[in-house]
A and B are shown apart, each in its own frame.
Chain A
Amino acid sequence: MSDSQYSVQMRNITKTFPGVRALDDVSFTLRPGEVMALLGENGAGKSTLMKILSGVYTRDSGEILLFGTSIEGDLNPRKAQALGVSMIHQELNMCSHLTVAQNIFLGKELTRGSLLSEREMNQQAKDVLDSLQIDIDPTMVLGSLAVSKQQMVEIAKALQSKAKILIMDEPTSALTSVEITQLFTLIRKLRSTGCSIVYISHRLEELQHIVDRVTIMRDGKFITEQPFSSLTMNQIISYMVGREIKEKFPRIPANRGKLTLSIRNLNAGRMVRDISLDLYQGEILGIAGLMGAGRTETTRALFGVDPKESGDIVLEGKAVTITCPEDAIEAGLVLVPEDRKRDGLCIKLSVRENIGLPNLDILCNKAGIINRKRERTMVKKAVQDLGVKLPTSEVDASSLSGGNQQKVVVGKWLARDSKVVIFDEPTRGIDVAAKVEIYHLMNELKQNGIAVMFVSSEMPEILGVSDRILVMCDGRITGELDRSEATQEKIMEYATRFEHKLENQN
């Protein structure tokens, strides 16, 4: 049985949710010791397929073989795990208050009699971590570790339970480039021990480092399965979207207008130090930098989410005081936040209510009563302008796919006239087509004479969309580049200009 050529064979899988055919006759194979990239736009059915494999969902029809043995009946998560399938979720599923070892043994604690044998668990946890050359003390509290380390613990946890098939859903979305390299080393090591890995990611640039084969899905259907080396990036994209995306980064020339926003010596904690910048009408100012460079913190301080220590903000020639988001919105400065689930959406409210929320000042009369007709008109326009796909605007925001949720978050801010719009990582975790729509939108704002600030960790899009680029490192602005002179190398150089204080002191 175990000498089968494939570790996973899924044949003719279909799955229907009310109103949606999520998977339509999809087949998928995986060999021992290979990394398979599972690609597709948001909503292509990748996650659904993998959730069926890991037992979270049950299939409507079709056949699943694990190591050559057909699975009778439905899988459930426990059964799937026992058969060696483990999924590393996009949002880490662990108890942050417990220690590393306690997490690794969660649900299968080692006991002596009826007492926990902590020492043994710590030892075995250490063995697993060591075997992966992960340098983490198993007695540390999980929540005190960086996200990347937590992810590695989750992988170790999967391996401790003898996982042979690892499914990773967007594992790199929250990692820095150094951490990504570490993760890839780990993945290669797992591959060499015969583990099969399914790798779901939107970051196509990463694939070349680890991937052996590629399965591409679109609209719930299987499109192709090929060795990675036989495909070009453009081919992959066109398989994913079903059409060639000609302009990945549409750029529109616009005339830089008057000075809109100028910030002088903004300080807010360690991650925002002495930030000064100018922003003009009709330009897109890119803010580049590595993860943890203080870009998000800067936008949050500017928008009044986090308190400022000092600094002057001048908007259209007038000094403004921003102590809370309300002040910023009133002044004409809005922020499309980075983490849409945490900061952007009220997922239990409808799309209409979400879009209306920051604009109630426009939608209400003096007594604070909402003009529902005006609200519907605003929401309808926002939904149309952004091409949000939804049955009606009364559905819960939680029912939308990631890309559509992001459009709602963007839409709620664009429904009002602002002078400055700050986008913090607006394209994270959304598919290629939706990304291009977001770029078009920024361009449209720019053409309408609005000043746009664009924070992104993805170098190609910063280079492709911005008119001018500021680079941050360690809470400071370390460089400014005009679009004509900007290259990835130059940005990297500025982005790694750390202060060497510590080393000097040592």
Chain B
Amino acid sequence: MSREQGNPIKRILAVRGIGQVLTVTVGLIVLYVVFGIMNPVFFSSRNISNLLRQIAPIILIGIGQSYVLITGNIDLSIGSVVGMSCMISATMMTKGANPWVAVIVTLICCLAVGLANGLLVSFAKLPPFIATLGTMTIARGIAQIANNNYNTDSIGEAAQGFRDFFYYGKTFGLFNTIWIAAVLWFIFNFILTRTRSGRHIYAIGSNVEAARLSGVNVISATNKAYMVSAFVSGVVGLITSATSGMGTMDAGNSYELYAVAASVIGGISTLGGQGLLFGTVIGASIWGVLQNGLQFAGAPVAIRNIVIGVIVVVSVLLDVIVRSGKGLRRKRGASAV
């Protein structure tokens, strides 16, 4: 161990689950280079900047879904919470509310959905698929009811600061959206890897009974994961309303599935207990590069969907194959030792 501490590269390689992350990182680089060769504009700094801004929301919802997947559950309400956040914030702003008050109220509403998800799953012990299917529908309903079943009008001049903060503005040459994703990623990655709550989230995903017997409060850990998921979804909703300058009721449609895709491409196990948040960034980036690159290559939306679907399945399939090979070897090793 002391040797590992001395050598940073070895230390990184010693992190469990880094293998798949490195593999998909290589995949990401290859994809990027291939698209760049096909169309050199792809390498332009302007496109890179836009690309990163496109990826940022996917990273955010990916973080949320990853948290929940690591606890061994799933959150289907992400997309609806994005829509809900978009509609609540935009409606408040069109009705003249201070944008920052709107932001806070919106995020509180989103956290409430997260708490509801957590309690339904951990306290009421509903299957997470069903519980979040319910809240997904409810949250979408709230998004629709927010402005009486209409998309909102423009959120107006008064909200320009809000729009700049979440989408149009730049800080140190990078779009704010990218900064938001980066800062939140650092915070949530730190919580997941370095704090008690994070350890609890991994533990309940690995073996909920052993975690409970080790004094882990399962209900609270589950709630935290779902609330993180709802929080980042809320932020993405705000980004969405800042982007279009209005509230759209079907904003965030199928985002929960994009979030699953980003997570699993990045090596988060859908069975819980395993995965690194860094992988989610790579997974989301692959997603973004594919979308953007195929668009540059002139592929129609239908083709893009098909390609991305295939990538999701193949990446998980590869992971299953690698893992079962490794698992078998480890199992054999275990019985041998």
Residue ranges of A at the interface with B (Cβ–Cβ < 8 Å): 15, 17-20, 22-23, 43, 45, 47-48, 51, 57, 220, 303, 305, 324-326, 328-330, 335, 337, 342-350, 353, 356-358, 360-361, 364, 367-370, 372, 376, 380, 389, 392-394, 396, 398-401, 404, 412
Contact = CB atoms under 8 A, between A and B. Distances in A.
A336 to B, nearest CB: 10
Contacts of B331: 398
19 contacts: A17-B336, A20-B333, A23-B336, A305-B213, A324-B212, A325-B213, A343-B210, A345-B210, A346-B273, A349-B203, A350-B16, A357-B211, A368-B195, A368-B197, A369-B195, A393-B1, A398-B334, A399-B330, A401-B334
B278 to A, nearest CB: 17
Contacts of B203: 346, 349, 353, 357
A20 B216 CA distance: 35
A290 B104 CA distance: 60
A48 B336 contact: yes
B304 interface: no
A396 B206 CA distance: 11
Nearest to A47: B335
Given A17-B336, A400-B334, A353 B213 contact: no
B217 A399 contact: no
Interface string B187-220: 0000000111101101101110111111111000
A348 B211 contact: no
Contacts of A356: 199
Contact of A345 (B1, B207, B329): B207
Given A51-B335, A353-B203, A17 B329 contact: yes
A146 B29 CA distance: 56
Contacts of A337: 210, 213
List the 9 closest A-B pairs by CB distance, nearest first.
Answer: A22-B336, A346-B206, A358-B214, A348-B273, A348-B206, A329-B215, A368-B196, A346-B207, A360-B196
Given A20-B333, A48-B336, 16 more contacts: A17-B333, A18-B329, A18-B333, A23-B336, A324-B217, A343-B209, A343-B213, A347-B207, A348-B205, A348-B273, A349-B273, A360-B196, A360-B199, A368-B195, A368-B196, A401-B334
A343 B4 CA distance: 31
A18 B334 CA distance: 11
Contact of A412 (B196, B200, B214): B214
Contacts of B205: 348
Nearest to A405: B334
Contact of A370 (B4, B195, B210, B213): B195
Contacts of B213: 303, 305, 325, 335, 337, 343-344
Nearest to A57: B332
A389 B209 CA distance: 25
B274 interface: yes
Interface of B: 1, 4, 14, 16, 194-197, 199-200, 202-203, 205-207, 209-217, 273-274, 329-337
Contacts of B206: 346-349
Contacts of B199: 353, 356-357, 360, 370
Contacts of A364: 195-196
Contacts of A22: 332, 335-336
A20 B337 contact: yes
A326 B219 CA distance: 13
A324 B218 CA distance: 11
Contact of B1 (A18, A342, A376, A401): A376
A353 B201 CA distance: 12
A156 to B, nearest CB: 26
Nearest to B1: A392
Listed residue (B14, B205, B211, B336) with the most chain A CB atoms within 10 angstroms of its CB: B336
Contacts of B332: 17, 22, 48, 57
A337 B205 CA distance: 19
Contact of B336 (A220, A367, A393): A220
Contacts of B214: 325, 357-358, 412
A22 B206 CA distance: 28
A377 B195 CA distance: 17
B330 A396 contact: yes
A69 to B, nearest CB: 27
Nearest to B335: A47
Contacts of A361: 196, 215
Nearest to A346: B206
Given A305-B212, A347-B206, A370 B333 contact: no
B213 to A, nearest CB: 5
Nearest to A336: B213
Nearest to B211: A346
B336 A43 contact: yes
Contacts of B4: 392
A226 B226 CA distance: 61
A207 B200 CA distance: 44
Nearest to A44: B336
A348 B274 contact: yes
Contact of A349 (B202, B329, B330, B337): B202
B16 A394 contact: yes
A19 B333 contact: yes
B210 A394 contact: no
A347 B213 CA distance: 14
A370 B196 contact: yes
Contacts of A344: 210, 213
Contacts of B330: 396, 398-399
A353 B202 contact: yes
A353 B195 CA distance: 12
Contacts of B210: 337, 342-346
Contacts of A342: 207, 209-210
Contacts of B16: 350, 394, 396
A348 B336 CA distance: 19
Nearest to B273: A348
Given A368-B195, A392-B1, A394-B14, A399 B333 contact: yes
Contacts of B212: 305, 324-325
B35 to A, nearest CB: 36
A345 B209 CA distance: 9
A345 B215 CA distance: 13
Contacts of A394: 1, 14, 16
B334 to A, nearest CB: 5
B294 to A, nearest CB: 35
